[in-house]
Structures are given as structure tokens and as C-alpha cells.
Amino acid sequence: MNHSLKPWNTFGIDRNAHRIVCAENTQQLLNAWQEAVQKQQPVLILGEGSNVLFLEDFSGTVIINRIKGIDVHEDPTAWLVHVGAGENWHNLVQYTLENGMPGLENLALIPGCAGSSPIQNIGAYGVELQRVCDYVDCVELSSGKSQRLSALACRFGYRDSIFKHEYQDRFVITAVGLRIAKSWQPVLTYGDLTRLDPATVTPQQVFETVCQMRTSKLPDPKVSGNAGSFFKNPVITAQQASALLAAFPNAPHYPQADGSVKLAAGWLIDQCQLKGMAIGGAAIHHLQALVIVNTGQAVSSDVVELARHVRRRVGEKFNVWLEPEVRFIGQNGEVNAVEVIA
């Protein structure tokens, strides 16, 4: 159990695994998975570990997915980009921009690998992966059979997909297919993007604005360990929203197509005056209330206690109960994060 997971999670939490394997192709990944199963060990497949919190030492094999490669084809209306699951997401965004294929710029600087993007249906500044996802290639771990899921079959929702439900632990994502429309339309609905002129703005300006917003608010994991946004933005009913807005008319809120209303978790936490609050080595970031940082010597229980405190304070003030976006990993695999901090 002396293989340190510290380099493999952006929180920088010092936990160990029984074994760590870097897989550069599907066969290496399958071999490592099947070997662990034969030994009746749990298996965890990671990309860049940018969205996990290790609660304890992992008693089995951690497989790091490093399947690389970017292939581009086109049809009359779109660029078709096939991306290996182990490619860094931000590098992919830069690659598409540099090669004249704009459309991903709102998703710049989201940490992690391309293969993790469909699991969470990553999103930022008004754009979600499902907007550009064409298909996801995956392999059934037990049989080694390849499967291509259409975007519809992925059942994308807010920070959700089939890979968090019946495909979890049974399939591994090997590649993602993106369809990037040639008729570029800027999405300028959030933050500093609203100040840009839709008639003259360039994809590069959108990219630079997104990078500026993210770096000004979000700490670099290499400097202060963190997993990005710790909590999901809560989605509440229209009835709940009208009651909340009557009491807090300034609350940022975003009506959804189904009649529900999305709130800004960072704003809710900020209203509880929690920025900078620390428990042990874990702290709420002083600029962005949505981020919990490792100030240097945090242990996982510090992060859990702080998250629990945040959830309780927001719940008491707003009757809105936050849920972690970060995946909590126990000794044998993922556990229910809400139950851990409830």
C-alpha cells in the first residue's frame, strides 16, 4: 500500500493505493483491470484526478487512463474531432482554436482529461459538453467489447450522464467524438463575456476572457491543491425559487427549460461569509467561495468537515442543500458524497 496517490489527485491529498498503472492503450487498460479483478481487488480508473477526493487509502489498483491522439475530419457543416480519453482537456481547446475550429473556447481551463468530460457533462459560461458531443467510445471492462454511444444515448444532464449510473464501473471511456459546427456563434451570457460585442468578437477574445475569469477566481492546483468547483450549482423548483427570491432579490438565478431554476452555489456560500474559513489544512478560497483548497497539509477529513459545515450553513440560511460535484473515493471505490457530508 505504499504507492502514493498524491501526484494523481489535484487536491494533493496524501493517500496510497495498492497498485498504480499508467495505461497508454485500451489493451493495457483492460489487462490491468482484469488482473485486479482476478485478484478480487477493487479498481479505480482516473484521468488527471482533478475531480476526486480520496477519503482513505485505496485497497486495489488505480489505472491512469493515458490513451492519446487527436484526429480531425470534416463534412460541409462541421469539424469532426476524435479525441483519445487521456488527452488534456484544455490542451484540446487550445488545439482546436489554433487550427481554426472555434466552439470550445467557453470550456477553456476546465481541469482534467477529455475522457472525463462526458462523465460530468462538463460545462462553463453557458456551454456544456453535450452541445458539441457527437459520440463517446467506450469498452465494456468484463468482455473487452467496444461500443460507440451517440450523444443521445449518453443521457446528458446537468453534471450528469449514463457514465455516472448504469455504465459506472462497467465501462471505460476510450475516446470522445466532437462535432464542432463551422457556423461559429459566440456564447456571451455569463460574467465578463457579457461585455463583449457579439457582432465583432473573435473566438480568441472569448478564450482569453474565459481564461482571465477562471485564473482570477480559481487557484492553480499546482500552487494550492483543489478540485475546482467543489459543489454543484443547485437546481430548485420554480416555487422554491420564488420564495427564495422574495427574501433575497439579488440572488443570481438562471431559469431552466423545464421550469426549474439554477442558483449560483458560490453566491450562496459567499452570503454565509465563509470565504477564508479553514478547518485544519482545508480552507474556503478567499476569492472564490465555490473552491475548497488544500493549504498545504490538509487531510481528507479536514475537507469533509469543511464541506459539511458549508452545506449546513447554506441549508440553514436558504433551505437549499448543496451537493458535492467532486467524487468521493473510499477504500473500495466511489461512495455517496452527499451521505458523507450530510
> Measured between alpha carbons, how far apart are the two ends of the chain, in Å?
30
Give the total residue count for the chain. Answer: 342
Q: What is the rounded CA–CA span in Å between residue 176 and residue 298?
A: 34
The single residue of 66, 159, 311, 327 carrying the catalytic annotation is 159
Q: Give 290's DSSP letter.
A: T
User: Nearest 5°: phi and psi at 207?
Assistant: -55, -50
The single residue of 87, 105, 128, 325 carrying the catalytic annotation is 325
Helix (H), strand (E) at residue 94: helix 89-98
Cell numbers that stand for 36 in this block: 485486479
Q: What is the rounded CA–CA span in Å between residue 232 and residue 249?
A: 21
Clarify whether 15 is annotated catalytic: no
Q: Give 269's DSSP letter.
A: H
Clarify whether 325 is annotated catalytic: yes
Q: Give 232's DSSP letter.
A: P
Q: What is the rounded CA–CA span in Å between residue 35 and residue 32?
A: 5
Clarify whether 229 is annotated catalytic: yes
Rounded to an integer, what is the distance from CA 17 to the centroid of its chain?
22
The answer to whether 173 and 155 have CB atoms below 8 angstroms apart is no
Q: Is 43 helix (H, G, I), strand (E, B) or coil?
A: strand
Q: What is the rounded CA–CA span in Å between residue 260 and residue 253?
A: 10
The single residue of 117, 161, 224, 229 carrying the catalytic annotation is 229
Rounded to an integer, what is the distance from CA 168 to the centroid of its chain?
15
Q: What is the rounded CA–CA span in Å between residue 116 and residue 163?
A: 10
Q: What is the rounded CA–CA span in Å between residue 125 and residue 288?
A: 16
Q: Rg (Cα) of the chain, in Å, rounded?
A: 20
Cell numbers that stand for 297 in this block: 497539509
Q: Would you please indicate which residues are annotated as catalytic (active-site) residues?
A: 159, 229, 325
